[in-house]
Chains A and B, each alone.
Chain A
Amino acid sequence: MYEEPYRWIEAVGNRRQYLDEQFKQGSPVVALSCDEGIVLVSASRGTPKLYEIYDRIALGGMGHPADLEKLRFQLLDMAHLEGFTRSPSDVTGARLLKNGLAPTVKQAFEEIFKAPFIAKILLAELGATREKDRFLTIDYDGTFEETNICSLLAGTRAIHTPLFDELRNRIGASVPSLKEGIDMAVRVWAKGSLLHTTISSDANSHEIPAEGQEKGESMPDFDDEDVQRHARQQFADVTLECSLIDRRLSGSSKYRVLSDDEVTRLLPPALQPVR
């Protein structure tokens, strides 16, 4: 029945709806370029969301862990094969994502008899200088975006846009230190997580519409105190994940996971978890 174009478009539309629904409970991923390198922030319950892909490339993911694993392995294979047969400097995030991952993801999304990847991926790539740091994201339908300075993954486009604007504004023209970078990233992460929580609980209560409630067109506005409170509560429950592609590390591998002690030391008191 999908031979008819209209049916196909309808099926793809349904797919979008289904996939958007899957990401509403997810934890956002925030990455930004700071003086010491690129810092990535997310939170997880057991399954990590941040991974090392190659010497200067890190991955942050949202979605189904099994799908993320499959795509992560594809990236690892491509990167290591290229790095070995050519040279580590030929392994670039742009090639991995645009030539490697995007066609696979798009094909899976459009083959409507098969399951799509429930995954959104962010690749952060440390450049020779901060100006050359790059960020790439790919959505579940295979569309990708390249930015510098910062990037993030969020459940829906409606949440992504204001969060990304906020992250850009917070950084402005400054070159944040690692401490400042983590502070910004965690605040934006917490705001994203708060938006996810609010919107999915709105959606759940949709069957009994509250009086005067409009259907999620405009984003609710939270002040700093709301965001901080949410962060503190969340970190008592989930693990804050923080990693750094460290410009200062000697040797070829630049990726490292920040230890709990390091994160506690870097995080401002207002964002420390409630124990």
Chain B
Amino acid sequence: MVGRHGDFMHMLREHGYSFDPLHVAQTQGASSQSGHHVQHSMMTQGTTVLAFKYQDGVIVGGDRRATAGMTVMYDRTDKVLELDRFCVMAIAGVPATAFEMARILEHSFKYYRRSQLQDLSFEGKLRALTKLLKENAPAAIAGTGTVAPVFAGFDLDAQEGKIFFYDILGAEFEGVDYAVSGSGSPTIRGILHYLHRWGQTPLYQLPEEDAIVLLMRLLSSAAEFDAATGGINYEANLFPIVKRISSNGVEPIAPERLQTLCASQVMRYV
């Protein structure tokens, strides 16, 4: 019986939808016609997303710029996608594939919960993302579907926030205290390492406000050295997407609050 195991992908396939072969066909077609892969300047990518643990759970953020080569495609992208009430996927890479993955996962988790009358376990959710990335590997290698996400959520069984990051082929790594991804990430990875190791307070002990301020400062730093990262544009009232994940679930931080904190604690340092 279709869907009896709560497997949404299985049900989709039964109805003729395919996630992977489309990409393979597309990339194979592109290679044979032009003799090389689709030029990277044509694809929308480049970004900075990050997540770190703070005292109530996990804080996740992402800049809002989408670029294709030297062109800024869009400046108000939301790259921190809510998959359900307790987890998010922060995306770096080709948005077309990443958004599709997020859509599949969102529906998969809902379908599982509603059909099996229980939430998919935290490990089950991670596995679902790994599976998608693995199926997407040919497109990732070709460059047309490269996605390297950060997965963050609150594990209700363990009562703690958790962070995972992936390489483009779907290898899963647990980022114990923090994880970063995207073209701007090398800059802030070093800062996070330094702060976590030698800072006055370990990241996981930071109160919410300090965590939000740190996140905005980090994204500003990434934007300073990476043209593909949007950072903060205070004049245009453009702030990063910031979400906190605690035992209350995923809650976006309102732009008004970001604006206030930015004015008092971020701008004066820039």
Contacts and interface: CB of A to CB of B under 8 A. Distances in A.
Interface stretch (B111-119, B120-128, B168-176, B200-208): B111-119
A77 interface: yes
Contacts of A81: 11-12, 15
B82 to A, nearest CB: 7
Interface residues of A, number: 16
A84 interface: yes
B107 A76 contact: no
B2 A84 contact: no
Interface string A45-86: 000100111110000000000000000010011001101110
Contacts, number: 42
Contacts of A73: 1-4, 115
Given A48-B117, A76-B115, A80-B111, A251 B85 contact: yes
Contacts of A85: 17
A251 B82 contact: yes
B110 interface: yes
Given A81-B11, A81-B12, A251-B85, A76 B3 contact: yes
B82 A80 contact: no
Contact of A76 (B15, B17, B84, B114): B114
A80 B4 contact: no
A253 B11 contact: no
B54 interface: no
Interface string B7-49: 0100110010100000000000000000000000000000000
A99 to B, nearest CB: 16
Q: Nearest 9 pairs between A and B by C-beta? A: A84-B107, A80-B111, A52-B114, A77-B3, A76-B115, A73-B3, A80-B107, A81-B15, A76-B114
Interface of A: 48, 51-55, 73, 76-77, 80-81, 83-85, 251, 253
Given A55-B110, A73-B4, A251-B250, 7 more contacts: A52-B114, A73-B115, A77-B2, A80-B8, A80-B111, A83-B107, A84-B8
23 contacts: A48-B117, A51-B114, A52-B114, A53-B114, A54-B114, A55-B110, A73-B1, A73-B4, A73-B115, A76-B3, A77-B3, A80-B107, A80-B111, A81-B11, A83-B107, A84-B8, A84-B12, A84-B17, A84-B104, A84-B107, A85-B17, A251-B82, A253-B85
